[in-house]
Structure 1
Amino acid sequence: MVMEHSLSRRLFGLGGLAGAVVVSARQGFAADDTAKAPAPNEDAPKERTFCYVGGYTKHGPPGGNGDGITVFEMDRKTGALTSLMTFTDIASPSYIALSPDHRLLYAVSEINDFDTTHSGAVTAFSIDHSTGALTKLNTVASGGADPAHLSVHPSGRYVFVANYTGGTVAVFHVLADGSLGRRTELIHNTGPRMPDRAADNPPGNYAVSDHSSAHPHMVKSDPTGKYVLVMDAGLDRVYVWALNLQTGKLTPAAVPFTPMTPGSAPRHFEFGESGKKLYLLCEQDSKVVVADFDPQSGKISPVQTVSSVTAHFRGSTLAAGILLSPDERFLYVSNRLGDSLAVFQVAKDGGLTLVDEIWMHADYGRSLMFDPSGSYLYVANQRSDSITSFRVDKTTGKISFTWDFTPVGSPTCFEFITVPVS
């Protein structure tokens, strides 16, 4: 493990001061007087919030300016992020995910030369809640080139990995100490060649998505943990598998996949808490598809498609991140190239209405993430080498720029934890 720390230390000479207080008390109080303990500091923080940021390093196909996984502490009043340390012994950790108990963190290395099979890698870490520091537990081959996403099953027993260039989805068993054990599944989907651009692109969009083969871009279970969904940006499909919790094997659902608009490149998704509403983001045509999800059968039924850019927009853009507010009243989408953030109001039936689109104040925004309180929205801006933050109006859903820029090389993803101060 390699850590770069920037922690300050202050030493207090309390010995002599304590003696002076004792003498004063003996001289100034009557026999029945009792010296009172100092009142507790009501302003002392009872909790700390750590923010983990991953991104691209020089080692990786895209090439980046990052150094590894940087640990920040968040000022809970202002939203400002202060860098504490960076775990540097990892290549291009472009996506990270926490265990359900927030004691473990997992990271992909979006590379293609981890071993002789041209695989990427996955690393497991333990988290020191007193300092936020990461300790590497182990690293294993991801089962395919350039893993772009990973997630942890709600039980904490399995880690799912989407190998973008390799075209595979892998499942890993989690051992008792949180390290990664055996690979229990590896699936490689196939399908017909899809168009590089979608017919319903925004006007003037010259950006293309790679449809040369299968490109799994996200893998995650539904809230119940019964099904595992994969967004395949190369085949323009959303796959659904049932997970055997005992063996870690995947079995196709009754409807094994749902086709999306040809060329649309389905990228990421968000589930409503009930698990019955699903929001599917397609990067190429910058569309959000609202769908009903049947938790019993795993069937996906699209009901609405909306654009993440306004009708006034012209030019190239690719949608990137999608985020549902904690109360599920608003949905947010980042648009790369167009450098905007879309704000949708969510109706009672789950339908979306675009209510605002604002400038990202940076370039090529990727992942979006709320702080644990839901008061601030953060954006990882890959090409600007910065994190920008926005204050959230929880009543209207609208966001306002804080004018706070946090420098970090080629950021792409976040995770937050809040821990008690002992």
Structure 2
Amino acid sequence: MSGSFSRRAFGLGSLACGFLGSAYAQADDNAPAPDKQDAATPPQLERILCYVGGYTQHGPPGGNGDGITVFEMDRKTGALNHLNTFTDVASPSFIAFSPDKLFLYAVNEINDFEGKNTGAVTAFSVNHGTGALTKLNTVSSGGADPAHLSVHPSGKYVMVANYTGGNFALLRVQKDGSLGQMTTLIHNTGPRMPDRASDNPPGNFAISDHSGSHPHMIHADPSGRFVAVADAGLDRMYVYGINLETGRLFPAKKPFTTMTAGSAPRHFQFSADGLRLYILCEQDSKVVVANFDAKTGDIAPQQAVSSLTAHFRGSTLAAGILFSPDEHFLYVSNRLGDSLAVFQVAKDGGLTLVDEIWTHADYGRALKFDPSGSYLFVANQRSDSITSFRVDKTTGKIGFTWDFTPIGSPTCFEFLTLPA
């Protein structure tokens, strides 16, 4: 469409190692040598590894990445230092660990797996001595261009959302961590929705694809009793119950909640107690705060708040959403606008925007805290870099570290803590 930016053009359609030093990353000349460490300084007991996925050349976006890259994080500075890259994997645009962290699963955001119009999911075992990945197997995702996956809390199933395929599936996890049979494949249907929301940010020319069902995220609630699906094409949040023995999903008492027309619900976060659901809508860049009934799976929206400050004008699409470890703050990335929004979470779950900061890079996607919660990392797809921010755990505000980690078309993270 002339003069318009589609979500695929500025999202999945345009998507496709070392470390750049900074003032924060410079060594302290007065620091003791490792074998003469001050007795008051605790020994380095753990290593923190960061796994980064993104878009490779094989896939509709035609990305710049090489596969899944493994970095080690400097615990003092937050700098990411390249260890290795697993290259035998196509466009791993979303990755997730099993609950026991022994296995890693990646979508292959492609549409030609084994010559069919479908994407794939790849399973890896993780060496907890070195952090190295070993491929176990790759199976069909059941639909084209899978955009998200998660592992059920039971560890029994990998759940995958096929964006272009318009469906979502459950894959059984075998005893060795490899992927077995597909137990569920569901394709939702509904009326054609508008490409832009009625509450679109002023001056926003970006559009979201509403040509049909486009599941963008699938994840269980903390109890594992329910599975929620954000459908960005139908503007709905679906909820299903799950039979853990058969791997079959069945509609909840209220099968779906309709969001603002054209808003494109993309990602979401449950509170740890499972009583609230925070839904990020990409097209109107809003977070919808909803109560979640842990007995019935019912979603009841309570508040909608913009991830943009009132002065913003122009094209933007919200992307990632993430709680701080203590859930006192919520963070959102805004693509095109290239900003990070910081919300304070009230005791009743309500949100107040307290800060907005430039990502210092282009098209920020996923957000991730390191295990300590001291650093927030952003995968900047278009500028082929990861940027990081120091976190004030009291105020929730973040400050840029001036660390840029070069990596082709990054889109997602996972962290793993290993013995030193």
Q: TM-score with structure 2 length normalisation?
A: 0.90
Does residue 255 of structure 1 match 2:254?
yes
**Which position in structure 2 is the counterpart of 1:311?**
310
In structure 1, distance between residues paired with 2:44 and 2:142: 43
**Per-residue deviation, residues 101-124 of structure 1 (Å, max 9, x unmatched):** 111100000000002431101000
In structure 1, distance between residues paired with 2:141 and 2:38: 50
Superposed displacement of residue 45, structure 1: 1.9
Give the 5 Å matches for 1:17-416.
Answer: 44-416=43-415
**Per-residue deviation, residues 224-279 of structure 1 (Å, max 9, x unmatched):** 00000000000000000000011000000000000000000000000110000110
In structure 1, distance between residues paired with 2:257 and 2:42: 53
Give the 5 Å matches for 1:3-22.
Answer: none
Superposed displacement of residue 40, structure 1: 11
In structure 2, distance between residues paired with 1:39 and 1:331: 38
Superposed displacement of residue 131, structure 1: 1.0
Instruction: Give the RMSD, CA atoms, in angstroms.
Output: 1.4
In structure 1, distance between residues paired with 2:116 and 2:352: 46
Superposed displacement of residue 43, structure 1: 5.8
In structure 1, distance between residues paired with 2:314 and 2:359: 16
4+ residue segments displaced more than 3 Å:
38-44
Q: How many residues align?
A: 386
Report the 3-state secondary structure (helix = DSSP H, G, I; strand = E; otherwise coil) of the residue aligned with 2:114.
coil
In structure 2, distance between residues paired with 1:419 and 1:242: 35
**Per-residue deviation, residues 5-31 of structure 1 (Å, max 9, x unmatched):** 99xxxxxxxxxxxxxxxxxxxxxxxxx
Report the 3-state secondary structure (helix = DSSP H, G, I; strand = E; otherwise coil) of the residue aligned with 2:310.
coil
Report the 3-state secondary structure (helix = DSSP H, G, I; strand = E; otherwise coil) of the residue aligned with 2:252.
strand
Q: Which amino acid aligns with 1:111?
A: I
Q: Which amino acid aligns with 1:380?
A: A
Report which stretch shifted further, 47-56 or 110-119: 110-119
In structure 2, distance between residues paired with 1:339 and 1:49: 27
Q: Which has the higher contact order (CA 8 A, sep 6+)?
A: 2
Report the 3-state secondary structure (helix = DSSP H, G, I; strand = E; otherwise coil) of the residue aligned with 2:113.
coil
Superposed displacement of residue 46, structure 1: 1.0
In structure 1, distance between residues paired with 2:91 and 2:143: 15
**Per-residue deviation, residues 190-241 of structure 1 (Å, max 9, x unmatched):** 0000000001011000000000010000000000000000000000000000
**Per-residue deviation, residues 359-407 of structure 1 (Å, max 9, x unmatched):** 0100000000000010000000000000000000000000000000000
In structure 1, distance between residues paired with 2:60 and 2:353: 35
Report the 3-state secondary structure (helix = DSSP H, G, I; strand = E; otherwise coil) of the residue aligned with 2:247.
coil
**Per-residue deviation, residues 117-170 of structure 1 (Å, max 9, x unmatched):** 311010000111111110001000100000000000111110000000000110
In structure 2, distance between residues paired with 1:115 and 1:350: 46
In structure 2, distance between residues paired with 1:257 and 1:58: 36
Percent of residue pairs bearing the same amino acid type = 75
In structure 2, distance between residues paired with 1:64 and 1:169: 24
In structure 2, distance between residues paired with 1:377 and 1:70: 18
Q: Which amino acid aligns with 2:151?
A: V
In structure 1, distance between residues paired with 2:273 and 2:330: 16
In structure 1, distance between residues paired with 2:294 and 2:244: 16
From the CA coordinates, give the structure whose radius of gyration is larger: 1
Q: Which amino acid aligns with 1:256?
A: P
Q: Which amino acid aligns with 1:420?
A: P
**Per-residue deviation, residues 68-105 of structure 1 (Å, max 9, x unmatched):** 00000001111000010000001100000001111110
In structure 2, distance between residues paired with 1:96 and 1:251: 25
In structure 2, distance between residues paired with 1:39 and 1:194: 62
In structure 1, distance between residues paired with 2:124 and 2:167: 23
In structure 2, distance between residues paired with 1:327 and 1:39: 32
Superposed displacement of residue 44, structure 1: 4.4
In structure 2, distance between residues paired with 1:356 and 1:116: 47
Report the 3-state secondary structure (helix = DSSP H, G, I; strand = E; otherwise coil) of the residue aligned with 1:115.
helix
In structure 1, distance between residues paired with 2:392 and 2:416: 22
Report the 3-state secondary structure (helix = DSSP H, G, I; strand = E; otherwise coil) of the residue aligned with 2:291.
strand
Superposed displacement of residue 39, structure 1: 10
Report the 3-state secondary structure (helix = DSSP H, G, I; strand = E; otherwise coil) of the residue aligned with 1:64.
coil
**Which position in structure 1 is the counterpart of 2:13?**
none
Report the 3-state secondary structure (helix = DSSP H, G, I; strand = E; otherwise coil) of the residue aligned with 1:83.
strand
**Which position in structure 1 is the counterpart of 2:28?**
none
Q: Which amino acid aligns with 2:141?
A: S
Q: Which amino acid aligns with 1:191?
A: G
Report which stretch shifted further, 114-123 or 140-149: 114-123
In structure 2, distance between residues paired with 1:409 and 1:44: 34
